């Protein structure tokens, strides 16, 4: 019987000391798909050259070529948003950072018996921008098609679920950075309130998109080419990180963290019909079609795995500067290391009036480490959304990344 492969979670490692840069100079090309990935772990007292709380009061200045703009139809088109995106979605513990397998009630019994419970879902995300001129509001309609795990003959007639969301974008922003080497990348914030009607400001659904290196595919059957040319297609790629913040709780992150690794398959949204057809569960969707849409680099790339340098070290161990992170004079700051070089930093606010949560993505190339961060700062007197600060940093490592 045929069975689709599942990612097997690796054991989390203790987080080592991590340094930040104080200045911004240039940006090296994003690392390739084969780059080492940060392990999943949680640890206190993360090393840094700046306090997260200090950043909330005095945000680090960013490159003159970087721009933060309200989200509109124009800025949405500049980032890897809108259209049909296909990829993989995995869930992680907000306490330990460990990968959480797919719920067993969604997995065939044979997979459970073989001990082959998948660690991710295959997804298609269709995004449409809706503009209401009268109210001057911009909305996004997002249709998510999720493929349920299957084995044997079932892979030729896959079952799917469909979820349609519509939410306002008027409180959100995107950040566009053009680095000195000419490369351009974006960060997109899509936060929204999801609290109950009795306490609408209690829960905030936090969503951050990091545009990363595009995927270049040769001999692509979907690319236009003549008989004498190699078929080549470039697929923009993004990392989408989501979780829920409880603004009234001392634990900040509620429940789990989800990471989606997705590529832009088409700039035209099909509202999910590329996989689902006109009905909720149309027959005929097969595993081959799903893989071709997502791409072999993502499907077989172990994108939720843990990898290290040739020396056996982790990427963030390549510098020796030491200074722990402190928020509002406390030592209760937590960090969660996740795959795809994602770092989440926060602290248990307890009686604090001001608190923050920072999400960072790291790229490493040669002797350079590059970091893009989104800091959300909250105050008890605000409306629950908090303020958003972006920053970019560069650090020169003592050893070359490729050594």
The full 3-state SS of 152-198, as one line of letters, equals HHHHHCCCEEEEEEEEECCCCEEEEEECCCCCEEEEEECCEECCCCC
* pLDDT at position 229: 57
* pLDDT at position 383: 63
> When comparing pLDDT for 319 and 25, which is higher?
319
The string of pLDDT tens digits covering residues 316-354 is 555 443 333 333 333 456 788 889 989 888 876 666 667
How far apart are the C-alpha atoms of 13 and 40, rounded to whole Å?
7
The string of pLDDT tens digits covering residues 189-233 is 888 888 777 776 778 899 999 998 888 888 655 544 445 456 778
Backbone angles phi, psi at 152, to 5 degrees: 60, -140
Would you give the distance in Å from CA 46 to the centre of its chain?
A: 21
**What 3-state DSSP class applies to 199?**
coil
Nearest CA among 178, 162, 156 for reference residue 27:
178
What is the overall mean pLDDT for the chain? 70
Beta bridge partners of 393: 371
The string of pLDDT tens digits covering residues 264-307 is 999 989 999 998 765 445 456 889 899 999 999 999 988 997 66
Mean pLDDT within 84-102: 93
How far apart are the C-alpha atoms of 364 and 343, rounded to whole Å?
14
* pLDDT at position 19: 28
How far apart are the C-alpha atoms of 47 and 66, rounded to whole Å?
26
Residue 311 CB partners (closer than 8 Å, separation 6+):
399, 403
């Amino acid at each position: 019987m045929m069975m689709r492969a599942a990612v097997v979670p690796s054991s989390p490692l203790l987080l080592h000391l991590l340094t930040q840069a104080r200045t911004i100079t240039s940006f090296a090309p994003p690392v390739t798909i084969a780059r080492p990935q940060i392990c999943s772990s949680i640890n206190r007292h993360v090393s840094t050259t700046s306090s997260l709380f200090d950043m909330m009061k005095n945000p680090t200045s960013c490159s003159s070529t970087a721009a933060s703009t309200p989200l509109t139809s124009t800025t949405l088109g500049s980032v890897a948003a809108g259209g049909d995106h296909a990829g993989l979605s995995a869930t992680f513990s907000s306490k330990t950072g460990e990968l959480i397998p797919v719920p067993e009630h969604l997995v065939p019994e044979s997979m459970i018996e073989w001990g082959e419970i998948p660690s991710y879902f295959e997804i298609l995300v269709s995004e449409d921008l809706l503009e209401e001129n009268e109210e001057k509001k911009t909305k996004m309609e997002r249709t998510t098609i999720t493929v349920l795990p299957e084995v044997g003959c079932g892979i030729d007639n896959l079952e799917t679920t469909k979820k349609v969301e519509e939410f306002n974008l008027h409180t959100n922003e995107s950040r566009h950075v053009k680095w000195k080497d000419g490369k351009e990348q974006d960060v997109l914030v899509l936060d929204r309130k999801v609290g109950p009607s009795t306490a609408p400001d209690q829960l905030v659904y936090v969503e951050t998109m990091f545009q990363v290196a595009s995927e270049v595919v040769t001999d692509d059957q979907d690319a236009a080419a003549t008989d004498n040319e190699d078929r080549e297609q470039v697929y923009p790629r993004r990392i989408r990180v989501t979780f829920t913040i409880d603004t009234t709780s001392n634990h900040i992150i509620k429940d789990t963290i989800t990471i989606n690794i997705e590529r832009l398959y088409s700039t035209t949204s099909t509202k999910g019909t590329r996989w689902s057809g006109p009905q909720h569960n149309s027959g005929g969707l097969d595993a081959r079609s799903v893989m071709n849409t997502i791409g072999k680099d993502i499907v077989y790339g172990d994108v939720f795995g843990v990898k290290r340098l040739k020396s056996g070290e982790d990427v963030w161990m390549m510098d020796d500067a030491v200074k722990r992170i402190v928020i509002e004079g406390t030592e209760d700051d937590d960090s969660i290391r996740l795959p795809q070089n994602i770092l989440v930093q926060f602290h248990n606010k307890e009686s604090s009036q001001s608190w923050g949560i920072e999400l960072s993505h790291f790229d490493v190339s040669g002797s350079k480490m590059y970091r893009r961060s989104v800091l959300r700062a909250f105050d008890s007197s605000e409306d629950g959304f908090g303020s958003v600060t972006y920053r970019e940093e560069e650090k020169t490592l003592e050893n070359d990344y490729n050594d």
